[in-house]
Structure 1
Amino acid sequence: MTALDLFLTNQFSEALSYLKPRTKESMYHSLTYATILEMQAMMTFDPQDILLAGNMMKEAQSLCQRHRRKSSVTDSFSNLVHRPTLDQFTEEEIHAEVCYAECLLQRAALTFLQDENMVSFIKGGIKVRNSYQTYKELDNLVQSSQYCKGENHRHFEGGVKLGVGAFNLTLSMLPTRILRLLEFVGFSGNKDYGLLQLEEGAAGHSFRAVLCVMLLLCYHTFLTFVLGTGNVNIEEAEKLLKPYLKRYPKGAIFLFFAGRIEAIKGNVDAAIQRFEECCEAQQHWKQFHHMCYWELMWCFTYKGQWKMAYLYADLLSKENSWSKSRARLEAQDCREISTHREVRHPEIQTLPLPQPDLLANPSSENEYSVDDECLVKLLKGLCLKYLGRVQEAEENFRSIPANEKKIKYDHYLIPNALLELALLFMEQGRNEEAVKLLETAKQNYKNYSMESRTHFRIQAATLQAKSSLENGSRSMVSSVSL
């Protein structure tokens, strides 16, 4: 807990130095040390950082294995005839189980990060399965009448809630085709149960409470946009962040999430201030700066301050180890947009169009013309949607599938236009029409750019639309009964 406190006050090296002497003997010291290294690896994408974190997590797992009962939870509980009771495990053995499951889960995450080929996927999958089964059995133990709370029970329970919550939330977001395959080998995920477990874990006074908070903040401020419908619970995110921001006013992690919340709320100047504070708060981990640069680039883009947006895109291009091509592309886009004219609406200060000449002079066609025109239609449709000009937004979205045969390269535009049209219909309560569009987007289009991400969003939208339809049916039945 002391090391965690150091970490949250940006004293990263001090936290590692504090933990290191006991990493060979204490499961929790070893696991925490490896977790901090893994956080660093996930921000840098540096092969050496990934390798170091992987080796440390492997050592932590070996230490946990030594403390586990010879007949482990999953071994014992998979046998229905000879199920031992919880009192047959010492407190140390039960903590060893939850720490072991966490090591497996984190090693799997590193495996995916390190190499995306099929062999690595299978290796990571085996770790994930073992981890999932252990968490599942531990959750059953905590719910059972035989569960007797030990001296450090809150840390054990916090670990179970973290793992069970993370698994359920992650699995619930997976596209249907992947989920069917995973359900076949015993995986299943319930979003509401996952959120509930993480919320309970975040509210508890355990070592892992802050990890539950971070996962929930990631979900509310990133995943709901990147892999979902953008139906965010910003009030919940603020409530989770508030006590940590009060306790750690200079904590870089919390300042970053505070910036994200302000950006989502549309308070762009307040967001910029938070991201700048985050950069000033610490100088040891430059990767935090890179995350802020990315957000600052977009904040200045929203304000139409193209030179500042370009500055941050250029910094990312030169300093970070993520996708160089993407950072350079963003820098180029910011520079080009800044030299182009702007189309103005009374409701929007500036709506930049990347290729105004395309609309001004349609006769100057080339092989990219239809693709570019459809991209502008998609962006324009989104702007019109948020202005409340629903009919015009619908016309723009519909025009893209109508040009399907003419699109040469940007095939992602069609399924994404169908997805946006479905989301527009859902806002109007036209859920049956939305489900049909989502099915078309899912079934009829393959092998396009960012396909996996689009499928995540289609899955989230489909679940939301079907849930609304079911609730509507129940309401009708209730009113008929009355």
Structure 2
Amino acid sequence: MSFLLSWKRSLKRSDSKTRSSSCQEIQDLNEDQEEHRRLPFYCVSMSGEAETLSNGSQKPDLRIELDDCMAALDLFLSNNFAEALARLQSRTKDSMYHALTYATILEMQAMMTFDPQDILAAGNTMKDAQAVCQRFRRKSTMAGSFNSMINRQAGEQFTEEEIHAEVCYAECLLQRAALTFLQDENMISFIRGGIKVRSSYQTYKELHSIVQSAQYTRGVSHSHFEGGVKLGMGAFNLTLSLLPTRILRLLEFVGFSGNKEYGLQQLQEGASTQSFRAFLCTVLLLCYHTFMSFVLGTGEGDVGDAEALLQPYLKRYPKGAIFLFFAGRIEEIKGNLDAAIARFEECCEAQQHWKQFHHMCYWELMWCFTYKQQWKMAYFYADLLCKENSWSKATYAYMKAAYLSMFTEEDCRPFGEDEVEIFRQVPGMKQKIAGKSLPTEKFAIRKARRYLSPNPLPLPVAPLEMMYIWNGYAVIGKHRDLTEGMLDTLNQAQRTLEQAPVTEHTVDDQCLVSFLKGLCMKHLGCHEEAEQYFNLIQINETLIRYDHYLVPNALLEHGLLCMELGRKEEGVRYLETAKHNYKNYSMESRTHFRIQAALHSAKSAVENGDSVP
């Protein structure tokens, strides 16, 4: 009710054009709700009889559709992006799989560019694909849906095309929801996105029940249908399981649930088949092992599983940009930086059509050179991103300035580039995605404010601080020489701070350097020294004025170290303190993700009778 009152007030304050637009959004919202008021049924009949569409045209053969889409996907994975889209586009009006595949490729492009026009185009295309899928779905009345929910044993019979339409429709809903969250910032958009997510989730659950039902009869293309169900169930379970406990409890209250092991199992089964969705299941697993579990976890992705998943694709598509990128990412996690750099460079050379793949490689190359402390090369890639990519201009500019701040007096600076001026530009580059500012942008903007005063106070080790945010110390920790080199840089920064005049940032800066030194000591095996540095943050907690995130993160790292040393109860105590005693600090969500992963690891180890990692 409060939302409706607020919306009415906003209408009164808006002009006629805004009122018209808002009314249209409400109408679209009502259409979405009406469209989703149905559930698939349990009994499936795979009759395979030819049928005629309402426009008089013959339904295309499902097997031919899937074979053609698989051929287009093969073109896409071979870097023939334009040919793949052209092959799909001619059939997007009459084939649900062509429409879905075409829209999925455009959505991948939009997700990589974050360009508003790309997001809008992908959203419209996915909406068209959903409409195509709707034409192939079993038509039902509200009364029929209600009766089926009361007596599912009397459910209608579905043809094979209709059951495939259900899984394609659920996939369209899920992808449209993701774009809805990216595209707009108003409350109506969030409601519409939430409706799509819930409808997609419920449909996948019902389809999973169909597959498990004794009444289910496998059709000719059943592997593609079942692969779609495994993709949806796996993606939902895995994603939900990664969320912090407080958010997960709220989602469970409204009907969502997530089981990480089950989600990984579903995706693994989907990836191991020859189905249409095997590639998407594989990509989700690779993203989990090389990004989500690394950046949002404790810094240890399952590299072995990732390599096993990737190897067949690399063999078939040795120049495939997607697979070269993941190959580089795996080498980076393993700490093989030169091999990683070679893979990312190879990925950039493999194709020139989609620059977005280049940008993903630039980001990773920037970090590889950061780990090697080659500031000029790191600056080079940050500068390229700043000029060419729209994902986060504020973050790219901050990193540019951060690398410049590490240049020595002897280093040749790029013409006209001054870190103070770039730092001052960062706050003006803030943008919002899904109505929220990016956490890394907020972090960068807060740190850059130190340069807004006439007499700016320089950040001591800006790149090394941001490196922790992206779990980079887990990478350099695999190589003693890299870790020792980083420790030398931190020792020099500490000496500079000790010689500088005392300011309002002095304690914060000293605690930051001590925290990062503790991480280096931990990876060098100097556990007692590492604990002393982490304890130092706790001792100075009340004196820290701005970098409050250091305290819960010091507790997190101290907890992980204790667990590594076999002091499980003490480690869990540190983790629980970090989880419950601190809030409203920079990068809080990311810290909570890592705490959640660490606690889950400890719990799993106890249940399995293993030692805590």
**Which TM-score tier does this pair reach, normalised by the shorter chain?**
over 0.9
CA RMSD of aligned residues (A): 2.5
Q: Does residue 1:327 correspond to 2:396, yes or no? A: yes
Q: What's the secondary structure of 2:407's corresponding residue? A: helix
Amino acid of the residue matched to residue 78 of structure 2? Answer: T
Residue 147 of structure 1 is aligned with which of 216, 219, 231?
A: 216
Q: Deviations over 1:284-341 (max 9, x none)?
A: 1111111111111111122222211111111111111111121111122222223289
Q: Does residue 1:121 correspond to 2:256, yes or no? A: no
Map of 1:443 onto structure 2 = 580
Structure 1 runs not aligned, ≥5 long: 475-482
Distance in 2 (alpha carbons) for counterparts of 1:420 and 1:81: 52
Q: How does 1:16-415 map to 2 (within 5 A)?
A: 16-71=85-140, 76=145, 79-84=148-153, 88-115=157-184, 118-339=187-408, 348=483, 350-351=485-486, 353=489, 356-362=492-498, 364-415=501-552
Distance in 2 (alpha carbons) for counterparts of 1:217 and 1:346: 29
Amino acid of the residue matched to residue 201 of structure 1? Answer: G
Q: Deviations over 1:52-72 (max 9, x none)?
A: 000011111111112111249
1:86/1:141 contact within 8 Å kept: no
Amino acid of the residue matched to residue 49 of structure 1? Answer: D
2:362/2:385 contact within 8 Å kept: yes
Distance in 2 (alpha carbons) for counterparts of 1:103 and 1:319: 30
Map of 1:465 onto structure 2 = 602
Distance in 1 (alpha carbons) for counterparts of 2:489 and 2:532: 18
Distance in 1 (alpha carbons) for counterparts of 2:600 and 2:186: 30
Scaled by the length of structure 2, what TM-score is found? 0.73
Amino acid of the residue matched to residue 301 of structure 1? Answer: T
Q: Deviations over 1:202-261 (max 9, x none)?
A: 001101100000000000000012211223210110000000001001100000000000
Amino acid of the residue matched to residue 356 of structure 1? Answer: Q
Structure with greater Cα Rg: 2
Map of 2:78 onto structure 1 = 9
Identity %: 70
Q: Deviations over 1:389-414 (max 9, x none)?
A: 11111111121122111111111111
Structure 1 residues 77 and 422, CA, compared in 2 at 3 Å: closer, same or farther?
farther
Distance in 2 (alpha carbons) for counterparts of 1:235 and 1:403: 41
Q: CA deviation at 1:353?
A: 3.5
Distance in 2 (alpha carbons) for counterparts of 1:347 and 1:268: 10
Q: Which moved more, 1:80-89 or 1:236-245?
A: 80-89
Amino acid of the residue matched to residue 272 of structure 1? Answer: I
Distance in 2 (alpha carbons) for counterparts of 1:293 and 1:118: 35
Question: Displaced runs of 4+ in structure 1, greater than 6 A?
Answer: 340-343
2:228/2:277 contact within 8 Å kept: yes
Distance in 1 (alpha carbons) for counterparts of 2:76 and 2:195: 31
Amino acid of the residue matched to residue 291 of structure 1? Answer: M
Q: Deviations over 1:250-279 (max 9, x none)?
A: 100000000000111111111010000000
Structure 1 residues 127 and 349, CA, compared in 2 at 3 Å: closer, same or farther?
same
Distance in 2 (alpha carbons) for counterparts of 1:455 and 1:462: 10
1:76/1:83 contact within 8 Å kept: no
Distance in 1 (alpha carbons) for counterparts of 2:205 and 2:541: 46
2:337/2:368 contact within 8 Å kept: yes
Structure 2 runs not aligned, ≥5 long: 1-69, 411-460, 465-479
1:370/1:406 contact within 8 Å kept: yes
Q: CA deviation at 1:358?
A: 4.1
Amino acid of the residue matched to residue 215 of structure 1? Answer: L
Distance in 2 (alpha carbons) for counterparts of 1:33 and 1:399: 55
Distance in 2 (alpha carbons) for counterparts of 1:469 and 1:261: 29
Distance in 2 (alpha carbons) for counterparts of 1:269 and 1:393: 29
Structure 1 residues 145 and 9, CA, compared in 2 at 3 Å: closer, same or farther?
same
1:431/1:468 contact within 8 Å kept: no
Q: Which moved more, 1:285-294 or 1:372-381?
A: 372-381
Structure 1 residues 209 and 357, CA, compared in 2 at 3 Å: closer, same or farther?
closer
Structure 1 residues 278 and 371, CA, compared in 2 at 3 Å: closer, same or farther?
same
1:255/1:274 contact within 8 Å kept: yes
Aligned length: 473
Structure 1 residues 282 and 396, CA, compared in 2 at 3 Å: closer, same or farther?
same
Scaled by the length of structure 1, what TM-score is found? 0.93
